Amino acid sequence: MQLPAGERQAPGKVFLVGTGPGDPGLLTLRAAQLMQTADVVLYDRLVSDDILQLVHAGARMVYVGKQAGYHTRTQAEIHQLLLDFAEAGATVIRLKGGDPYVFGRGGEEVQYLQQHGIKVHCVPGITAAAGICAELGIPMTHRGVATSVRFLTGHSREGGELQLDETLAACADPHTTLIVYMGLGTLPLLVRQLRARGMPADMPAVAVERGTTSEQRVVFDTLQQLHGSIQEAGLQSPTLLVIGQVVALAPGWTGVQDAAAAGGLSAAAASAAVTSAHDCARLQLDDAVAAVLKQQPQQQRVRQPVGSS
Protein backbone atom coordinates (compact mmCIF):
# COMPACT_ATOMS: atom_id res chain seq x y z
CA MET A 1 0.00 0.00 0.00
CA GLN A 2 1.67 3.24 -1.19
CA LEU A 3 1.21 6.74 0.16
CA PRO A 4 0.91 9.87 -2.03
CA ALA A 5 3.90 11.38 -0.23
CA GLY A 6 6.22 9.00 -2.09
CA GLU A 7 8.25 5.94 -1.31
CA ARG A 8 10.47 5.60 1.72
CA GLN A 9 12.73 2.62 2.23
CA ALA A 10 12.67 2.46 6.03
CA PRO A 11 9.44 1.36 7.74
CA GLY A 12 7.50 4.00 9.59
CA LYS A 13 6.54 4.09 13.24
CA VAL A 14 3.20 3.42 14.87
CA PHE A 15 1.95 5.36 17.88
CA LEU A 16 -0.94 4.04 19.95
CA VAL A 17 -2.46 7.20 21.36
CA GLY A 18 -5.06 7.35 24.11
CA THR A 19 -7.46 10.26 23.69
CA GLY A 20 -9.06 10.08 27.14
CA PRO A 21 -12.78 9.93 27.89
CA GLY A 22 -13.81 12.54 25.30
CA ASP A 23 -13.07 16.05 26.54
CA PRO A 24 -10.21 17.41 24.37
CA GLY A 25 -8.96 19.32 27.39
CA LEU A 26 -7.95 15.99 28.93
CA LEU A 27 -5.56 15.04 26.12
CA THR A 28 -1.87 14.75 26.88
CA LEU A 29 0.50 17.24 25.25
CA ARG A 30 2.25 14.33 23.50
CA ALA A 31 -1.05 13.18 21.97
CA ALA A 32 -1.79 16.66 20.62
CA GLN A 33 1.76 16.94 19.24
CA LEU A 34 1.56 13.63 17.39
CA MET A 35 -1.85 14.45 15.91
CA GLN A 36 -0.24 17.45 14.22
CA THR A 37 2.48 15.35 12.54
CA ALA A 38 0.89 12.02 11.51
CA ASP A 39 0.72 10.77 7.92
CA VAL A 40 -2.14 8.36 8.65
CA VAL A 41 -4.67 8.25 11.49
CA LEU A 42 -6.77 5.18 12.31
CA TYR A 43 -9.47 6.18 14.77
CA ASP A 44 -12.18 4.51 16.83
CA ARG A 45 -15.85 5.24 17.39
CA LEU A 46 -15.08 6.55 20.88
CA VAL A 47 -12.79 9.32 19.63
CA SER A 48 -14.88 12.50 19.75
CA ASP A 49 -15.26 14.91 16.82
CA ASP A 50 -13.76 17.66 18.99
CA ILE A 51 -10.57 15.64 19.31
CA LEU A 52 -10.48 14.79 15.60
CA GLN A 53 -10.29 18.52 14.88
CA LEU A 54 -6.78 18.45 16.33
CA VAL A 55 -5.52 16.17 13.53
CA HIS A 56 -3.79 18.25 10.87
CA ALA A 57 -5.59 18.60 7.55
CA GLY A 58 -2.99 16.68 5.53
CA ALA A 59 -3.37 13.38 7.37
CA ARG A 60 -5.16 10.44 5.80
CA MET A 61 -8.11 9.47 8.04
CA VAL A 62 -9.27 5.85 8.29
CA TYR A 63 -12.29 4.99 10.46
CA VAL A 64 -12.06 1.57 12.13
CA GLY A 65 -14.79 1.94 14.75
CA LYS A 66 -16.56 -0.91 16.50
CA GLN A 67 -19.70 -1.32 18.53
CA ALA A 68 -21.61 -4.29 19.89
CA GLY A 69 -22.88 -6.38 16.99
CA TYR A 70 -21.24 -4.29 14.26
CA HIS A 71 -17.57 -3.90 13.39
CA THR A 72 -16.52 -1.79 10.41
CA ARG A 73 -13.21 -3.70 10.50
CA THR A 74 -12.24 -6.90 12.22
CA GLN A 75 -9.30 -6.74 14.60
CA ALA A 76 -7.24 -8.73 12.09
CA GLU A 77 -8.02 -6.16 9.39
CA ILE A 78 -6.98 -3.34 11.70
CA HIS A 79 -3.69 -5.14 12.38
CA GLN A 80 -3.07 -5.45 8.65
CA LEU A 81 -3.88 -1.80 7.95
CA LEU A 82 -1.43 -0.67 10.63
CA LEU A 83 1.24 -2.93 9.19
CA ASP A 84 0.62 -1.89 5.57
CA PHE A 85 0.83 1.83 6.31
CA ALA A 86 3.92 1.40 8.50
CA GLU A 87 5.71 -0.72 5.88
CA ALA A 88 5.00 2.03 3.34
CA GLY A 89 7.04 4.36 5.54
CA ALA A 90 4.21 6.32 7.14
CA THR A 91 4.04 7.75 10.62
CA VAL A 92 0.84 6.08 11.81
CA ILE A 93 -1.32 7.22 14.72
CA ARG A 94 -3.80 4.75 16.17
CA LEU A 95 -6.27 6.90 18.10
CA LYS A 96 -8.16 5.10 20.86
CA GLY A 97 -10.70 6.34 23.37
CA GLY A 98 -9.50 6.29 26.97
CA ASP A 99 -6.17 4.50 27.43
CA PRO A 100 -4.89 2.01 24.82
CA TYR A 101 -4.00 -0.56 27.48
CA VAL A 102 -7.29 -0.48 29.43
CA PHE A 103 -9.79 -2.65 27.52
CA GLY A 104 -8.49 -1.05 24.32
CA ARG A 105 -6.77 -4.09 22.76
CA GLY A 106 -3.62 -2.05 22.53
CA GLY A 107 -1.50 -4.96 23.70
CA GLU A 108 -2.70 -7.14 20.82
CA GLU A 109 -1.82 -4.49 18.25
CA VAL A 110 1.62 -3.93 19.76
CA GLN A 111 2.37 -7.65 19.74
CA TYR A 112 1.31 -8.05 16.12
CA LEU A 113 3.35 -5.10 14.87
CA GLN A 114 6.45 -5.98 16.85
CA GLN A 115 6.32 -9.51 15.46
CA HIS A 116 6.53 -7.91 12.01
CA GLY A 117 9.46 -5.66 12.89
CA ILE A 118 7.53 -2.41 13.36
CA LYS A 119 8.43 -0.07 16.20
CA VAL A 120 5.44 0.89 18.34
CA HIS A 121 5.17 3.55 21.01
CA CYS A 122 2.21 3.94 23.36
CA VAL A 123 1.00 7.33 24.56
CA PRO A 124 -1.22 6.85 27.61
CA GLY A 125 -4.61 8.47 27.93
CA ILE A 126 -6.86 9.21 30.89
CA THR A 127 -9.00 6.10 31.13
CA ALA A 128 -12.76 6.61 31.33
CA ALA A 129 -12.87 5.49 34.96
CA ALA A 130 -10.45 8.20 36.10
CA GLY A 131 -11.88 10.95 33.90
CA ILE A 132 -15.52 10.31 34.71
CA CYS A 133 -15.01 9.79 38.43
CA ALA A 134 -13.08 13.07 38.58
CA GLU A 135 -15.85 14.78 36.61
CA LEU A 136 -18.52 13.63 39.08
CA GLY A 137 -16.46 14.11 42.24
CA ILE A 138 -16.18 10.39 43.00
CA PRO A 139 -12.86 9.34 44.57
CA MET A 140 -12.14 5.81 43.41
CA THR A 141 -10.41 5.16 46.74
CA HIS A 142 -11.13 6.92 50.02
CA ARG A 143 -9.75 6.30 53.49
CA GLY A 144 -12.19 4.25 55.51
CA VAL A 145 -14.56 3.78 52.55
CA ALA A 146 -12.77 2.10 49.64
CA THR A 147 -9.33 0.51 49.81
CA SER A 148 -9.24 -1.00 46.32
CA VAL A 149 -10.59 -0.58 42.79
CA ARG A 150 -11.47 -3.30 40.30
CA PHE A 151 -12.06 -2.76 36.58
CA LEU A 152 -14.33 -5.19 34.68
CA THR A 153 -15.62 -5.38 31.14
CA GLY A 154 -19.04 -6.66 30.12
CA HIS A 155 -17.76 -7.86 26.73
CA SER A 156 -15.89 -10.96 25.70
CA ARG A 157 -12.95 -10.88 23.29
CA GLU A 158 -15.18 -10.62 20.24
CA GLY A 159 -18.00 -8.73 21.94
CA GLY A 160 -21.56 -9.61 22.88
CA GLU A 161 -20.94 -12.37 25.41
CA LEU A 162 -20.45 -11.89 29.12
CA GLN A 163 -16.87 -11.92 30.40
CA LEU A 164 -16.84 -11.09 34.10
CA ASP A 165 -13.98 -11.59 36.49
CA GLU A 166 -14.27 -14.98 38.20
CA THR A 167 -13.34 -13.36 41.52
CA LEU A 168 -16.73 -11.68 41.91
CA ALA A 169 -16.61 -12.49 45.60
CA ALA A 170 -13.83 -9.92 45.88
CA CYS A 171 -15.84 -7.48 43.76
CA ALA A 172 -18.71 -7.72 46.23
CA ASP A 173 -16.41 -6.52 49.02
CA PRO A 174 -18.06 -3.35 50.42
CA HIS A 175 -14.65 -1.66 50.53
CA THR A 176 -13.98 -2.22 46.81
CA THR A 177 -15.01 0.23 44.10
CA LEU A 178 -16.25 -1.70 41.07
CA ILE A 179 -16.03 -0.03 37.67
CA VAL A 180 -17.57 -1.74 34.65
CA TYR A 181 -16.76 -0.80 31.06
CA MET A 182 -19.21 -1.72 28.29
CA GLY A 183 -21.59 -3.21 30.83
CA LEU A 184 -25.07 -2.04 29.84
CA GLY A 185 -26.09 -5.32 28.23
CA THR A 186 -24.82 -7.48 31.07
CA LEU A 187 -25.85 -5.30 34.03
CA PRO A 188 -28.87 -7.40 35.12
CA LEU A 189 -26.71 -10.53 35.35
CA LEU A 190 -23.93 -8.65 37.08
CA VAL A 191 -26.37 -7.32 39.69
CA ARG A 192 -27.69 -10.83 40.37
CA GLN A 193 -24.18 -12.19 40.76
CA LEU A 194 -23.09 -9.40 43.08
CA ARG A 195 -26.24 -9.72 45.18
CA ALA A 196 -25.71 -13.50 45.42
CA ARG A 197 -22.22 -12.82 46.78
CA GLY A 198 -23.48 -10.47 49.46
CA MET A 199 -23.38 -6.98 47.99
CA PRO A 200 -26.25 -4.91 49.52
CA ALA A 201 -29.16 -4.01 47.29
CA ASP A 202 -28.87 -0.37 48.35
CA MET A 203 -25.20 -0.02 47.39
CA PRO A 204 -24.79 3.40 45.68
CA ALA A 205 -24.16 3.24 41.94
CA VAL A 206 -24.03 5.51 38.91
CA ALA A 207 -24.17 5.07 35.14
CA VAL A 208 -22.54 7.69 32.90
CA GLU A 209 -23.05 7.92 29.15
CA ARG A 210 -20.36 9.75 27.13
CA GLY A 211 -18.75 11.13 30.26
CA THR A 212 -16.82 14.44 30.18
CA THR A 213 -18.39 15.45 26.85
CA SER A 214 -21.22 17.85 26.03
CA GLU A 215 -23.41 14.76 25.49
CA GLN A 216 -22.83 13.41 29.00
CA ARG A 217 -25.85 11.89 30.77
CA VAL A 218 -25.80 10.58 34.33
CA VAL A 219 -28.09 8.31 36.37
CA PHE A 220 -27.54 7.81 40.11
CA ASP A 221 -29.39 5.01 41.90
CA THR A 222 -28.91 1.99 44.11
CA LEU A 223 -27.44 -1.23 42.73
CA GLN A 224 -30.80 -3.01 42.71
CA GLN A 225 -32.65 -0.17 40.95
CA LEU A 226 -29.94 1.05 38.59
CA HIS A 227 -30.93 -1.03 35.57
CA GLY A 228 -34.52 0.19 35.64
CA SER A 229 -33.41 3.80 35.96
CA ILE A 230 -31.01 3.39 33.05
CA GLN A 231 -33.85 2.06 30.92
CA GLU A 232 -36.09 4.96 31.95
CA ALA A 233 -33.40 7.48 31.03
CA GLY A 234 -32.61 5.65 27.78
CA LEU A 235 -28.85 5.61 28.28
CA GLN A 236 -26.87 4.06 25.43
CA SER A 237 -23.34 2.88 24.80
CA PRO A 238 -20.72 4.00 25.66
CA THR A 239 -21.78 4.01 29.30
CA LEU A 240 -19.53 3.46 32.32
CA LEU A 241 -20.85 1.95 35.55
CA VAL A 242 -19.43 2.78 38.99
CA ILE A 243 -20.62 0.74 41.97
CA GLY A 244 -19.51 1.26 45.56
CA GLN A 245 -19.79 3.32 48.70
CA VAL A 246 -17.63 6.08 47.20
CA VAL A 247 -20.48 6.98 44.82
CA ALA A 248 -22.32 8.41 47.84
CA LEU A 249 -19.47 10.93 48.26
CA ALA A 250 -20.34 12.58 44.93
CA PRO A 251 -22.27 15.86 45.24
CA GLY A 252 -24.69 14.51 42.64
CA TRP A 253 -25.67 11.54 44.81
CA THR A 254 -26.88 13.74 47.66
CA GLY A 255 -28.56 16.11 45.23
CA VAL A 256 -30.46 13.27 43.57
CA GLN A 257 -31.60 11.83 46.89
CA ASP A 258 -32.82 15.24 48.04
CA ALA A 259 -34.53 16.05 44.73
CA ALA A 260 -36.27 12.67 44.61
CA ALA A 261 -37.52 13.03 48.20
CA ALA A 262 -38.71 16.61 47.79
CA GLY A 263 -40.34 16.37 44.40
CA GLY A 264 -41.36 12.76 44.18
CA LEU A 265 -39.12 12.33 41.14
CA SER A 266 -37.72 9.04 39.93
CA ALA A 267 -33.98 8.55 40.24
CA ALA A 268 -33.58 9.03 36.48
CA ALA A 269 -35.53 12.31 36.47
CA ALA A 270 -33.78 13.60 39.60
CA SER A 271 -30.37 12.73 38.12
CA ALA A 272 -31.14 14.68 34.96
CA ALA A 273 -32.26 17.71 36.96
CA VAL A 274 -29.29 17.71 39.33
CA THR A 275 -26.53 17.04 36.80
CA SER A 276 -27.70 19.58 34.20
CA ALA A 277 -26.52 22.46 36.41
CA HIS A 278 -23.06 20.90 36.68
CA ASP A 279 -22.92 20.38 32.91
CA CYS A 280 -23.70 24.05 32.28
CA ALA A 281 -20.89 25.11 34.59
CA ARG A 282 -18.39 22.77 32.89
CA LEU A 283 -19.27 24.01 29.41
CA GLN A 284 -18.33 27.54 30.44
CA LEU A 285 -14.66 26.51 30.48
CA ASP A 286 -12.46 27.84 27.70
CA ASP A 287 -12.51 25.88 24.44
CA ALA A 288 -9.74 23.32 24.85
CA VAL A 289 -9.40 22.71 21.11
CA ALA A 290 -8.84 26.40 20.41
CA ALA A 291 -6.28 26.56 23.21
CA VAL A 292 -4.29 23.62 21.82
CA LEU A 293 -4.38 24.89 18.26
CA LYS A 294 -3.44 28.40 19.44
CA GLN A 295 -6.01 29.78 17.01
CA GLN A 296 -4.21 28.30 14.01
CA PRO A 297 -6.66 27.69 11.13
CA GLN A 298 -7.41 24.01 10.80
CA GLN A 299 -9.69 21.97 8.61
CA GLN A 300 -12.37 20.42 10.80
CA ARG A 301 -12.45 16.66 10.91
CA VAL A 302 -15.75 14.86 10.58
CA ARG A 303 -16.46 11.17 10.51
CA GLN A 304 -16.15 9.74 7.03
CA PRO A 305 -17.65 6.62 5.44
CA VAL A 306 -15.83 3.37 6.03
CA GLY A 307 -12.70 3.09 3.92
CA SER A 308 -12.65 6.75 2.86
CA SER A 309 -9.50 8.81 2.92
Rounded distance, CA 131 to CA 211, Å?
A: 8
Has 173 been annotated as catalytic?
Answer: no
Q: Who contacts 102 (Cβ-Cβ below 8 Å, separation ≥6)?
A: 127, 129, 151, 181
Has 66 been annotated as catalytic?
Answer: yes
Rounded distance, CA 276 to CA 42, Å?
A: 34
Please say whether the beta carbons of 10 and 89 come within 8 A. Answer: yes
Please say whether the beta carbons of 53 and 131 come within 8 A. Answer: no
Q: Catalytic pick from 182, 199, 203, 221?
A: 182
Dihedral of CA atoms 11, 12, 16, 22 in degrees, nearest 10, equals -150
Give how far the C-alpha of residue 266 lies from the chain's centroid of Cα atoms, to the nearest Å.
27
Has 13 been annotated as catalytic?
Answer: no
Q: Catalytic pick from 23, 35, 39, 44?
A: 44
Rg, Å, the chain Cα set: 21
Please say whether the beta carbons of 251 and 138 come within 8 A. Answer: no
User: Active-site residue numbers?
Assistant: 44, 66, 182
